[in-house]
């Protein structure tokens, strides 16, 4: 009788909702940049609309994020239910079956996603990730400093133009550096920029036989130019600076120029964060011998590992976080100047957005001009502007980035750095069977 009463009581509690199933916890691994932090801040809106889901955030530095997510995805550990990855990983991981295809809901409007972004996050015709924001690269500069110095830059400057401008604007005694560039080692850090410089100097990662070209004259000229430019006109110990460090320097008024991701413009133009918000000018990324591959193409996107047991809940979150509705939510909360950009064509058709910022045209043009299928002057066998979309690239790019940073520090010459990177790349490509 006692057992019957207990069972009846439990059934009553269940019917009344007291014993309702606990919310599903989604563990989200993401990068520590401003737009992702904003998403985390707004996530209670998602939880209110989806009371059966709770979000747990793991926010990491870009390099640490890549290491942990890569290790978990390869091991099929299932540590994360949603991961933040980019155009390099998505096609490779999608083909390997490590990601679940993205399933847009009825309101998502996939066709509104910019074609280049959509294609870069697909494999074999399937979309494997939902873009949170997209970017190319461009030059961001202090219009007030250039005006005071009596010059301006053309819409498409050359790297020689940048060197001359940096020399005129460099005033370290006033706390202003002529140029800020990524110096921190990593295939997604210093090599993102250096790769585009190599492209415009006429170089490439691999020739049509998949043989590394890191020891080529084009690489030596591009990297020597980069090292010399930062040593003469950059901030001290520039090898410590990645995107976030340079962003902070520019917001503090300490960078006269900066070549980096177009997405940075929204943070620089925010008067709450930037003391130079009303003193900005923008141009397309600099070129040298060719315009090909001058501006990179990237998207930070949200994807669902195949190992997760919470795919349905994860799909609901992706549809919310990368939707047009989310963009409007950010606009209502923070203003149109702060929305994640570079993903949807409708964004650039909104008068509220184009009237709010002075970088919309430059950003849209940079993304439209970036062509991952034709990014080098000599013909190349790979897809990608600032990376080569093959599994071996991540390690090759990382090792090359470390040696370029060592050259910037003065621990070895540019020739020594590139010779070592070439040797390492050749060994890895040969071991992988690209050539004998």
Do 326 and 275 reside in the same domain of the chain? Answer: no
Radius of gyration over every alpha carbon of the chain, rounded to an integer in angstroms: 23
Do 249 and 206 reside in the same domain of the chain? Answer: yes
DSSP tag of 262 = T
Contacts of 367 (CB under 8 A, 6+ apart): 114, 116, 117, 134, 135, 136, 262, 297, 342
Do 129 and 150 reside in the same domain of the chain? Answer: no
Q: Which pLDDT score, from 0 to 100, does residue 130 have?
A: 98
Do 396 and 259 reside in the same domain of the chain? Answer: yes
pLDDT tens, residue by residue, 391-436? 999 999 999 999 999 999 999 999 999 999 999 999 999 999 998 7
Domain count, the chain: 2
Tell me which residues of the chain have a pLDDT lower than 70. 1-20
Contacts of 6 (CB under 8 A, 6+ apart): none
119 assigned to some structural domain: yes
Do 58 and 204 reside in the same domain of the chain? Answer: no
112 assigned to some structural domain: yes
Q: Which pLDDT score, from 0 to 100, does residue 62 have?
A: 84
Q: Can you give the pTM of this predicted structure?
A: 0.87
Do 182 and 253 reside in the same domain of the chain? Answer: yes
Do 318 and 290 reside in the same domain of the chain? Answer: no
Q: Which pLDDT score, from 0 to 100, does residue 11 have?
A: 47
Do 60 and 151 reside in the same domain of the chain? Answer: no
Do 124 and 208 reside in the same domain of the chain? Answer: no
Question: Could you tell me the residue range of the domain that residue 342 belongs to?
Answer: 15-135+297-356
347 assigned to some structural domain: yes
Q: Are 56 and 25 in contact (CB under 8 A)?
A: yes
Other C-beta atoms within 10 Å of 373: how many? 11
Q: Which pLDDT score, from 0 to 100, does residue 337 have?
A: 86
Do 386 and 274 reside in the same domain of the chain? Answer: yes
Do 292 and 305 reside in the same domain of the chain? Answer: no
Q: What is the CATH number of the domain that holds 189?
A: 3.40.190.10
Q: Which pLDDT score, from 0 to 100, does residue 10 have?
A: 45
Do 53 and 96 reside in the same domain of the chain? Answer: yes
Q: Which of 356, 375, 402 is the last residue of a domain?
A: 356
């Amino acid at each position: 009788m006692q057992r019957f009463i207990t069972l009846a009581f439990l059934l009553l509690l269940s019917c009344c909702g007291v014993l309702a199933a606990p919310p599903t916890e989604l563990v989200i691994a993401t990068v520590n940049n401003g737009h992702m932090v904003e998403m985390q801040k707004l996530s209670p809106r998602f939880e209110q609309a989806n009371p059966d889901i709770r979000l747990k955030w793991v926010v990491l530095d870009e390099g640490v994020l890549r290491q942990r997510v890569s290790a978990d995805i390869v091991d099929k550990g299932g540590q994360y239910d949603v991961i933040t990855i980019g155009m390099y990983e998505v096609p490779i991981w999608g083909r390997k079956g490590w990601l679940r295809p993205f399933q847009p809901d009825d309101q998502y409007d996939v066709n509104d996603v910019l074609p280049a972004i959509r294609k870069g996050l697909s494999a074999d015709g399937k979309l494997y990730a939902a873009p949170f924001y997209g970017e190319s690269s461009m030059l961001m500069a202090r219009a007030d400093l250039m005006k005071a110095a009596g010059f301006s830059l053309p819409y498409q400057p050359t790297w020689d133009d940048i060197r001359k401008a940096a020399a005129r604007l460099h005033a370290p005694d006033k706390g202003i550096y002529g140029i800020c560039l990524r110096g921190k080692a990593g295939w997604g850090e210093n090599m993102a920029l250096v790769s585009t410089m190599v492209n415009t100097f006429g170089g490439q990662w691999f020739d049509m036989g998949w043989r590394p070209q890191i020891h080529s004259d084009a690489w030596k000229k591009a990297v020597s130019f980069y090292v010399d430019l930062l040593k003469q006109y950059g901030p001290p110990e520039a090898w410590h600076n990645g995107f976030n460090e340079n962003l902070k320097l520019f917001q503090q008024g300490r960078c006269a120029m900066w070549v980096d991701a177009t997405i940075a413009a929204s943070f620089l133009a925010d008067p709450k964060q930037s003391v130079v918000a009303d003193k900005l000018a923008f141009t397309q990324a600099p070129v040298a011998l060719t315009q090909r591959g001058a501006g990179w193409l990237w998207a930070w996107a949200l994807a669902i590992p195949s190992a997760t047991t919470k795919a349905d809940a994860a799909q609901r979150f992706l549809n919310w976080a990368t939707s047009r509705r989310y963009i409007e939510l950010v606009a209502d909360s923070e203003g149109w100047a702060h929305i994640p950009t570079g993903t949807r064509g409708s964004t650039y058709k909104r008068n509220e957005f184009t009237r709010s910022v002075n970088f919309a045209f430059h950003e849209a043009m940079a993304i439209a001009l970036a062509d991952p299928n034709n990014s080098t002057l000599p013909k190349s066998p790979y897809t990608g502007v600032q990376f080569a979309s093959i599994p071996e690239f991540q390690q090759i790019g990382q090792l090359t980035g470390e040696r370029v940073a060592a050259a910037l520090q003065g621990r070895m010459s540019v020739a020594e750095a590139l010779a070592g990177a070439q040797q390492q790349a050749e060994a890895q490509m040969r071991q992988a069977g690209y050539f004998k």
